[in-house]
């Protein structure tokens, strides 16, 4: 995969040489702050509330979205395969359920803008006033 990227990125995506910047977003009314450790906690099922105690609903992008792999590696520090193995263990032992998945940035942005408990992520270039950015990676 990485060799693929090395070879294909300069050819196919001449306008975008570096990996996309990931913006972690919440509802504009959400005042909670979350650092990388906190975001990792929520997206690995180890916590279900923001630091202030309010309920948190993590939302993931589907594997077909290019930004998903960037989020997994930059924010969670794992490959998408490692995350899949991690969740498989929890799902089939009744210890956890992975975050709901959305198809793309537009669906993610709409879902976060509509849910005060949501936390998700989109390409930093797609951010607008309907959501609030709490971290860029």
Residues that bind another protein (CB under 8 A): 1-3, 37, 41, 46-49, 63, 79-81, 84-86, 88-89, 91-95, 97
**Contact predicate 134/36, CB 8 Å:** no
Q: Which two tokens stand for residue 118?
A: 């949501």
CA distances from 13 to 8, 63, 68, 72, 76 (A): 8, 20, 17, 21, 25
By beta-carbon proximity to another protein, the closer residue of 48 and 125 is: 48
- In whole angstroms, how close is the CB of 129 to another protein at the nearest point? 31
Instruction: Pick between residue 7 and residue 63 the one whose CB is nearest to another protein.
Output: 63
Least distance to another protein from the beta carbon of 15, Å? 26
Whether the CB-CB separation of 96 and 45 falls below 8 Å is answered with yes
Residue 68 CB, shortest distance to another protein, in Å, is: 9
User: HSE (CB half, 13 Å, CA atoms) of 111?
Assistant: 19
**In the complex, minimum distance from the CB of residue 130 to another protein, in angstroms, rounded to a whole number:** 27
What is the C-alpha to C-alpha distance for residues 22 and 121, in angstroms, rounded to an integer? 7
Q: Given the complex with another protein, which of 8 and 133 has the nearer CB atom?
A: 8
């Amino acid at each position: 995969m990485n060799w693929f990227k090395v070879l294909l990125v300069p050819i196919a995506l001449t306008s975008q040489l570096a990996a996309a910047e990931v913006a972690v977003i919440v509802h504009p009314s959400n005042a909670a702050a979350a650092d990388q450790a906190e975001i990792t906690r929520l997206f690995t099922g180890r916590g279900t509330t923001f630091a202030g105690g309010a309920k948190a609903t993590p939302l993931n992008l589907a594997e077909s979205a290019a930004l998903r792999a960037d989020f997994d590696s930059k924010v969670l520090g794992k490959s998408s395969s490692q995350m899949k193995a991690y969740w498989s263990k929890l799902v089939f032992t009744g210890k956890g359920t992975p975050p709901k998945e959305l198809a793309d940035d537009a669906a993610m942005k709409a879902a976060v803008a509509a849910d005060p408990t949501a936390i998700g992520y989109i390409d930093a270039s797609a951010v607008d006033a309907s959501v609030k950015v709490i971290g860029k990676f």
